[in-house]
Amino acid sequence: MNRHFRFQNFTTHTDPEMLPEYSAICHSTDPPRDDSEDDVEEALCLDSSGGFESAVEADDWMRQHMRETGHRHFRRSFEDYAELLPSDQLEPAHAERVTA
């Protein structure tokens, strides 16, 4: 019994049919509520913006959260969808050589 395995290259591309998502999570710490208790740890806020279709909307949410709470430290995230395409299905790149 003979087996033949064929290797095929795949290339990762952003899936053009799916929109990326932008979000932010507040990573600022709230000071202890009672200043007399020195051993109380500061708590992370961890409020989340949810998903937006643009980075501008996520930035606007961070600005609004800062106005309301005074928090200035955020973790921003960008998520997109990927697809794998066989390399032989890709069109070759077309580049013009500059000879100036």
Predicted confidence pLDDT, tens digits, the chain (100 residues)? 677 666 678 888 889 899 999 999 999 987 655 555 555 567 899 999 999 999 999 999 999 999 999 999 999 999 999 998 887 755 555 556 666 5
Report the predicted TM-score, pTM, of the whole model to 2 decimal places: 0.65
Nearest to 62 by CA among 79, 78, 44, 50: 50
Task: Quote the CA–CA distance of 32 and 39 in Å, as a whole number.
Answer: 9
Cα-based distances in Å from 67 to 1, 4, 24, 60, 85: 72, 64, 15, 11, 45
**Whether 77 contacts 23, CB under 8 Å:** yes
Q: Where are the alpha helices (DSSP H) in 1-100?
A: 55-69
